[in-house]
Amino acid sequence: MRIAKLAGAAILLTLAAPIAGQAATLSRAPFGQTPSGEAVEAFTLTNAHGVSATVITYGATLQSLVAPGRDGVKADIVLGFSDAGAYARNASYFGSTVGRVANRIGKGRFTLDGKTYQLALNDHGLAALHGGATGFDKVVWKVLDTKSNASSASVTLGYVSPDGDQGYPGAVTATATYALDEQNQLTVSYGATTDKPTIVNMSNHALFNLAGEGSSEGAMGNILTLAADGYTPVDAELIPTGEIRSVAGTAFDFRKPTAVGDRIRDARDPQLVIGRGYDHNYVLNGKAGALRLAARLSDPKSGRTLEILSDQPGIQFYAGNFIDGTLVSKSGKIYRQGDGIALEPQHFPDAPNKPAFAPIRLNPGETYSNRMVFKLSVAK
């Protein structure tokens, strides 16, 4: 057992004892096909503690993450679907790798080296969202490598986005690696290179519910802590204004453990009205580029706890405000508003149009990277 700390809070955590003779394993299976007939595969990574992660080649997507609670009962804690066709039909981004540029670019426009680029406006005609109409989440990635040994199991996927794809300059070669180890850590590592100057800001769009996806109580009772003293408020189109605002004294303060739903309906804060709840980028404490604890999410009933470590400057917190009850889950339940919580490590939204935000430019000869660790444990 150990004590983990985040922003002054402490929680007692326990890890299951390893099972003699067992090691991390990897299995591979068909996962249906896209409407155009492309085959999709699923890779399941499993460790000796009862934790498993399933990754599919469509969208380099985290389709499942199974973790035990304090009573030993396992639950899948990420929202998703049961076959490739459902992912292709539903523009939900559940668990997907989003890019080239995650989040929003205002008006879908940016300027690079004096040239203005117009991207596809796939967010109600207002912005470019998560890479465009056919972003990284809507293509089948190629399997580059798989590994399994005594300490971990992993799969690496790759995709080449051609020059001009969705309006972006340069051909970008992207990789996504998912690795599960015996410390109950699922590490997601993104990389990218380009043949022309461009912009890149990839992330993972998993929506979590530590009570279990499809649970009747939803995710609003999950307890969230964020290692962030500030956030970036947005305008009426959910584009950051460029301001970095202190969370102190506001409904956006999650520096101490707080139930996600406690203040989400507080209409006194115009930012919550604009986003229909939380859909905002938080400015992570600590130095970008260094892996540090960014967030903790837990379910009081089961004790399941997820810590997210990140090397990025920000993390987008989205409380599932736009899930509208029209999607049927992999467990046969209807997903409703507030049934999942996204915590997406990344650079700030609309960075190319905000000089005060860290740039997301990528040049030939450089390598973009984004590393996040999803660490699972159980609270006593």
| Contact between 55 and 92 (Cβ < 8 Å) | no
What's the rounded Cα separation, in Å, for the pair 265 and 277? 7
Secondary structure (H, E, C), 98-154: ECCECCEEECCEEEECCEEEECCCCCCCCEEECCCCCCHHHCECEEEEEEECCCEEE
87's enclosing H/E stretch is helix 84-89
| Contact between 120 and 131 (Cβ < 8 Å) | no
Is residue 271 classed as helix, strand or coil in its secondary structure?
helix
What's the rounded Cα separation, in Å, for the pair 28 and 40? 11
| Contact between 308 and 315 (Cβ < 8 Å) | yes
Cβ burial of 90 (10 Å; 0-12, 13-18, 19+) is: middle
Is residue 89 classed as helix, strand or coil in its secondary structure?
helix
Of 209, 196, 202, nearest in space to 157 by CA: 202
61's enclosing H/E stretch is strand 61-68
List C-alpha distances in Å: 194 to 135, 145, 162.
16, 21, 10
Residues recognised as catalytic: 205, 344
Cβ burial of 259 (10 Å; 0-12, 13-18, 19+) is: middle
